[in-house]
Amino acid sequence: MKVHLKTLGCRLNEAELETWAQAFQKSGHQITKQAEAAQLIVINSCAVTQDAARKSRQLIRRIHRDNPQAKLVVSGCYATLNEDEAASLLGVDLIVSNKDKDQLVEKTLTELNMDSMPVLSTEPGEISLFTRGRQRAFVKVQDGCRYRCTFCIVTVARGEESSRPVQAVIDEINALHQQGITEVILTGVHLGGYGSDLGNNLSDLIKAILVATDIPRLRLGSLEPWELPGDFFELFNNPRLMPHLHLPLQSGSDTVLRRMARRCKTEEFSVIVSQLRAKIPHFNITTDIIVGFPGETEQEWEDSFNFIKQIGFGHIHIFTYSKREGTKAAGLPDQVSNEVKKQRSRQLHELAEEMKLKFFECNVGNEFPVLWEGYSEPLDNGKQRVFGYTPNYLRVGCVIDSDVSVENRTIDCVLTAVEKDFVVGELEGNTML
């Protein structure tokens, strides 16, 4: 049977697809990128915003319309929060809630009576590579969150915290490495809470991975900037742990952060950033910001804007606040007008672009080992532009001959100039090519 896997939303959803792909193939089934060729389609839905829930519904309808013969399984946050609605959509054969995600493959094969083909289950595959090319994979290490930020519906959808055993994570990373994966990103709803139910912590997990695997590059997914283990910063002494963290700030105003029920004040955030940058030059800090949170005054916005500018981020995911039913923030007074939210969003986008280009420029002239990806742009005169990422997650573009492949290779590169969306690089040691 051919299985197509589709996701909306976060990296955690991506990591879950990774796990399901492994399990489906072990059961004798084949992963396909073509939805129209599949006999079974699994959708991992999202509901982080009302718009995400709407897109989930649209995706379900479109998938069924394009391949009405395929069995359709829906999981994820939209399906969990709106189970009856999702089940009633045309073509949906099975809903698997977030609490049952670990059994999704088993439940699908059992409840939909799908016949397997054991001959395929012994074939080595590249299932981890089906969405992201040949060099990077997301590994889910944790689910759920004990905190209740007032804007967040995900904690309701994902439930209580649950961590995977260290050995299970190590085994998955070693399996991925054997398949040719060069870089792994650890993900979770509350990644910093890893181990709260196991008696260990995120530092313990990272140390174990660095000892018990040979994966060349280890990255961390989105990490809340609080409760970091005491020895966390020392971990970056190991060059295999990449010097980039996505630390969601959400607002640069302490009074707004209080209404959001965030557990990190701006001063504490600033200390974390300073420690990281003191540890490793050119450490890349990226973040999330919510614009127009209920009650956000002009003074709070100005305070927030100035703090963001002071920190200087390599990249910002900017979210214009919108009501999300089921969250505390939806009922807060003094909702900000759409006109004001749009104006503040434009202002922050301009600042974010300035900071990104400034960070690009600060890295020009330096040499980095770049992990090159499969994607490339054809150019004239028998050339192509290939793309890859530095350890601190700068996207690099480099021109090489069209008949040369550097995919999934790590080759040193000198950064020479700045373009809008990437840094221009020149490969060192062309004889390696």
Q: Which residues of the chain have pLDDT under 50?
A: 115-132, 431-432
pLDDT score at 134:
64
- Residue 268 lies inside a defined structural domain of this protein: no
- Residue 271 lies inside a defined structural domain of this protein: no
- Residue 267 lies inside a defined structural domain of this protein: no
From the number of C-beta atoms within 10 Å of its C-beta (0-12, 13-18, 19+), residue 113 rates as exposed
Residue 277, number of CB atoms within 10 A of its CB: 15
Q: Which residue in this structure is represented by tokens 């904690």?
A: 155
- Residue 266 lies inside a defined structural domain of this protein: no
Do 376 and 341 fall into the same domain?
no
- The answer for residues whose C-beta is within 8 angstroms of residue 200's C-beta and 6 or more apart is 166, 194
408 touches 396 (CB < 8 A): no
Do 145 and 100 fall into the same domain?
no
The count of domains in the chain is: 4
Do 255 and 314 fall into the same domain?
yes
- Residue 272 lies inside a defined structural domain of this protein: no
Query: Could you give the angle at the alpha carbon of 48 between the alpha carbons of 343 and 88, nearest 5°?
Result: 125
| d(C-alpha 408, C-alpha 135), whole Å | 5
pLDDT score at 114:
65
pLDDT score at 130:
43
138 touches 152 (CB < 8 A): no
Q: Cα 236 to the chain's mean position, in Å?
A: 20
Through-space distance between the first and last CA atoms of the chain, rounded to whole angstroms: 40
Cα dihedral angle (270, 272, 275, 280), rounded to 10 degrees? -100
Q: Which of 76, 101, 122 is the last residue before a domain boundary?
A: 122
Which CATH number do you get for residue 69? 3.40.50.12160
Which CATH number do you get for residue 325? 3.30.750.200
pLDDT score at 132:
47
Q: Which of 122, 146, 180 is the last residue before a domain boundary?
A: 122
Q: Which residue in this structure is represented by tokens 């790590």?
A: 410
- Residue 127 lies inside a defined structural domain of this protein: no
Do 335 and 372 fall into the same domain?
no
As given in the structure block, the two tokens for residue 310 are 């002071």
66 touches 36 (CB < 8 A): yes
316 touches 287 (CB < 8 A): yes
Sign of CA dihedral 384, 388, 390, 393: positive
Do 353 and 373 fall into the same domain?
no
- Residue 13 lies inside a defined structural domain of this protein: yes
pLDDT score at 363:
97
- Residue 381 lies inside a defined structural domain of this protein: yes
Do 6 and 115 fall into the same domain?
yes
Domain hosting residue 26, numbered range: 2-122
Do 107 and 147 fall into the same domain?
no
| d(C-alpha 13, C-alpha 75), whole Å | 10
Do 397 and 336 fall into the same domain?
no
Q: Which of 181, 215, 242 is the last residue before a domain boundary?
A: 242
Which CATH number do you get for residue 380? 2.40.50
Do 29 and 77 fall into the same domain?
yes
Do 207 and 307 fall into the same domain?
no
Do 354 and 377 fall into the same domain?
no
Which CATH number do you get for residue 166? 3.30.750.210
